[in-house]
Structure 1
Amino acid sequence: MGSIYKRGKTYWVKYYRNGRPCFESTHSGKRSVATRLLKIREGRVAEGRLPEFRILKTRIDDLVDLYLKDYENNGRKSLVRARQFSELIKERFGGMQAAHITTEQITDYRTERREEGVKDSTINRELAALRRMFRLGQKQSPPMVGPIPNIEFVRENNVRKGFFELEEFYALTGALPDHLKVTATIAYFTGMRLGEILDLRWDHIDWDSGTIRLDPGTTKNDEGRLLPMMSDVRETLEQWRLNTMKDWPKCPWICHYHGERFSRIYRAWRTACKRVGLEGRLFHDLRRSAVRNLVRAGVPQAVAKKISGHKTDSVFNRYNIVSQGDLLEATKQISKYIHKKRNQIKNGYNLVTISHPEIQSASQVIEK
C-alpha cells in the first residue's frame, strides 16, 4: 500500500514495485496532485507498465549532455548553434525530470519566446533540439526516457526572396573591400555557400581545367562538388592570387585579410550595401542569384543542382526567384510566339476575331 508524505512544501509519494519501495516527488504543494500521481503509479505497477527507475531519474540536464556529446562525436558543423540551443533549454527546463515535461509546458515555452520577440523559425529550431534530446535518450540501452511529449511546430513564413540583378552585383562589388570582392564574386557566379567559400584554399583550384574542387565533408550535405570557373571568377582569382603571392606567399587561404583567414564579413557587407542603396540584402542572396541565373541561362535543373549543391527539387525551386522583369519578359516571349503562329496560318483560317457590332446585328437579322 502506497503513502503520501511531505518534505518541506512539496508532496512525495511512496509505492512498491517488486517488493521494493519507490519514492517520487510530485514537484507540487497540492495533496490532490500527489493523490493522482500515486494512483497512476500503483495502477501501472499492477499492469506491469511502470517505467524503469532510470527513466524516472533522468533529468533534462542529462539529455542536454547526451545531445552535445552526439554533436561532438559526429563532428557536426553546427556545434556552436547546438550549444546555444542547449543553454536555452537548460534555462527553462534545467533540473526537471524529463518524465515530467509535458506538452503544455513546451507550449508555454513557445509563448514565452514569442513574447521575447523571437521568430517562429528560431523557436522551431530550439524545439527540434529538445525533441532530438528526447530521441537520443530513448535510443540508450536501457532507455533514459519513456514516451516523448508531443512537440508541435508552427508553419514558418520567412522564406527569403532577395537576389541581385547583374548591375546591382557590379555596383556592390565596387563598394566592397578587395578581400570581400573575391568572396562575393565566387558566391554570385558559382552559388557556393559562405562557409564553403571561406574554407577554400589555393590547392582547391585547378587552373588547367578551370574548376573549383569542394572536398567531401566540407559542404553542408558532406558531398563533394566540382564547379566550373566562369571568366569573371577566373580573372578575379588570378589577380587576387598575384597579390597574395607577392605580399603573403605562405598564405594557403583564398579568402584572407592581410594573409590571415577571416570568418566574419557582415560589418563590411552591411556598409557596402548601404553605400550603394541595397540595404537589407544578405550575402546568401548571392547564392539565390546564382541559382536564378543558372535556370535563366537554360542549364538543365539536374546539372544546376549539382553546381549549387541542392539535393531536392523543392529547396532548389525556392531559390529560383521570379521578378517583375521575368514576368514582363515572359509576356514578350508569349506575344512573339503567338505572333509567329498567326503568321503561319494562311488566309486567316482559325483566327479568333470579334465581329463589328453592325455586322453582328445584320447576321442576327438574317438568322431571324
Structure 2
Amino acid sequence: MGTIYKRGKTWWIKYYQNGKPSYKSSESTKKMVAKRLLDKIEGEIAQGKTPSIHFDKTTFKQLADDLINDYTINGKKSLKRAKQSVNNLQRFFEHYTAQAITTPKIREYVGMRMEEDISNATINRELSALKRMFNLGLQQTPPVVERLPHIPMLKENNARKGYFEHGDFINLHKELPEYLKGFVTFAYKFGWRFEEITGLTWSQVDREQWIVRLEVGETKNDDGRTIYLDEKLKSVFQHQWETRKKREIITPFVFPNKNGNGRIKDIRGSWFKACEVAGIGRRLFHDLRRTAVRNMVRAGIPERVAMMISGHKTRSVFERYNIVNDADLKQASQRQAEYINSLTVTDTVTIVDFG
C-alpha cells in the first residue's frame, strides 16, 4: 500500500509498482489532494495500467527524437521531409509535454501555419508526422504516451495545372546553363523525379543498347525501372559521356553539377532565372513530370506502360498528373461534332407536338 507524507508544506505520495517504490509530489498543501492522487494511481496499477502521471514526463522533443530515429534506422527515403516537419512542429510544441498536446492546441498550430500562408498539403504532412510520433510512443513497452489525440486533417486540392507546352519548353531550354540542358531534356521526356535523375550514374546505363535502369530500392516507391533512350536522348547521353572523359575529375554521375565534380543538388537559382528570361512565368521542375505524363498519354502510349516509365505506382496519382487543358477540351468537342455529323438517319422520325 502507498503512503502520503509531508515535505515542508507540500504533501507527497509514495506508491509501489512491480515491487518498486516511486515518489510523486501532489504539488498541494492539502492532504486530501495527495490522498486522491494516491487512490487514482493505485487504481490504475490495480487495473494493470501504467499510472497516468508517468506520461507527464514525456516531452515533445522525446517524441520527435524517436520519430527521426525510427526513420533513420528503417532507411526511409522521406527522412529529409520528416526532419523538415519536425522543425516546423518544434517551433510551436518545443516546450510542451505529450499530455499537453491536445486537439485544441493542434488546431492552434494549424491556424499559425495557415497564417504563414503554408499549403494544406504541407500542413497535413506535418500533422501526419505528429500522429506518427504519438503512435510510436504508444507502441513502446511500456508506452510513453497515454493516448493519441484527435488530429484533424485539412482538405487538400492536389491537382496542380502546371505543365509545359512544347514551345515553352524549347524557350526554357535555350536559356538554361549548358550543364542543365541534357538534364532537363531527360526530365521532359520521361518525367523522372529530381532525385532520380541527379542520382543517375553511368553504372545504370547500358551504352551498347542505350538502356537506363533503376534497380529495386533505388526509387521512391522501391520498384525497379527500365527505359530505352530515343535518338535525341542517345545524343544527349553520348555528349555527357564524351564531356566526362575530358574532365580532370571523373564523376560517376551522368548529369554532374556545374563544376563537373559531383552530384547536382539545387538548380532553383538557374531554373527560375531561365524561366524569367524565357518569358514563360514561374514554373516548377516538377511540372516536367506532369508534362511527360500528359505527352505520353497523348502519344497513345498505354497508361500501364507510361506509369512504368514515369515511376507512378498508383493510378490515382498518375491520373492526377494526366492534365486536361483547354486545347484537349476543344479537340474533344470538335471530334464529337465530326462524329455526330458523320451519322446518317436511317429511322423514320416522328415529330411529336407536346403543346
Distance in 2 of aligned mates of 1:304 and 1:7: 75
Distance in 2 of aligned mates of 1:7 and 1:351: 105
Distance in 2 of aligned mates of 1:324 and 1:229: 31
Shift of 1:323: 0.9
Distance in 1 of aligned mates of 2:11 and 2:77: 44
Match of 2:281 among 279, 282, 288: 279
Distance in 1 of aligned mates of 2:156 and 2:13: 45
Contact 1:15-1:42 at 8 Å conserved across structures: no
Structure 1 alignment gaps of length 5 or more: none
State the secondary structure of the residue aligned to 1:260: coil
- Structure 2 equivalent of residue 211 of structure 1: 211
- Structure 1 equivalent of residue 259 of structure 2: 258
State the secondary structure of the residue aligned to 2:217: coil
Distance in 2 of aligned mates of 1:266 and 1:227: 27
Distance in 1 of aligned mates of 2:12 and 2:163: 61
Offset from partner CA, 1:116-139 (integer Å, 9 cap, x none)? 333322221111111111111111
- Structure 1 equivalent of residue 189 of structure 2: 189
Shift of 1:13: 7.7
Matched, 1:166 2:163: no
RMSD of aligned residue pairs (Cα, Å): 3.2
Aligned in 2, Cα 1:164/1:44: closer, same or farther, shift over 3 Å?
farther
Shift of 1:226: 0.5
Matched, 1:290 2:287: no
Contact 2:50-2:142 at 8 Å conserved across structures: no
Structure 2 alignment gaps of length 5 or more: none
Matched-pair identity in %? 38
Contact 1:2-1:38 at 8 Å conserved across structures: no
Shift of 1:221: 0.9
Distance in 2 of aligned mates of 1:351 and 1:277: 58
TM-score, normalisation: structure 1: 0.82
- Structure 1 equivalent of residue 224 of structure 2: 224
Aligned in 2, Cα 1:142/1:349: closer, same or farther, shift over 3 Å?
same
Shift of 1:15: 7.7
- Structure 1 equivalent of residue 151 of structure 2: 151
**What are the residue-to-residue correspondences of 1:1-368 with 2, within 5 Å?**
14=13, 16=15, 22-23=23-24, 38=37, 41=40, 45=44, 48=47, 50-52=49-51, 54-248=54-248, 250-256=250-256, 257-261=258-262, 262-340=264-342, 342=343, 345=344, 348-350=345-347
Aligned in 2, Cα 1:106/1:39: closer, same or farther, shift over 3 Å?
farther
Letter of the aligned partner of 2:40 in structure 1?
Answer: R
Aligned in 2, Cα 1:47/1:142: closer, same or farther, shift over 3 Å?
closer
Contact 1:127-1:151 at 8 Å conserved across structures: yes
Shift of 1:336: 2.7
Contact 1:216-1:223 at 8 Å conserved across structures: yes
Shift of 1:320: 0.2
Contact 2:15-2:42 at 8 Å conserved across structures: no
Shift of 1:184: 0.7
Aligned in 2, Cα 1:241/1:3: closer, same or farther, shift over 3 Å?
same
Shift of 1:303: 1.2
Letter of the aligned partner of 2:24 in structure 1?
Answer: F
Distance in 1 of aligned mates of 2:233 and 2:12: 71
Distance in 1 of aligned mates of 2:289 and 2:298: 14
Larger radius of gyration: 1
- For these two proteins, the number of residue pairs brought into alignment is 343
Shift of 1:6: 11
Contact 2:312-2:318 at 8 Å conserved across structures: yes
Shift of 1:46: 8.3
Shift of 1:39: 9.7
Distance in 1 of aligned mates of 2:11 and 2:300: 70
Letter of the aligned partner of 1:318 in structure 2?
Answer: R
Contact 1:17-1:45 at 8 Å conserved across structures: no
Distance in 2 of aligned mates of 1:167 and 1:291: 17
TM-score, normalisation: structure 2: 0.84
Distance in 1 of aligned mates of 2:66 and 2:207: 46
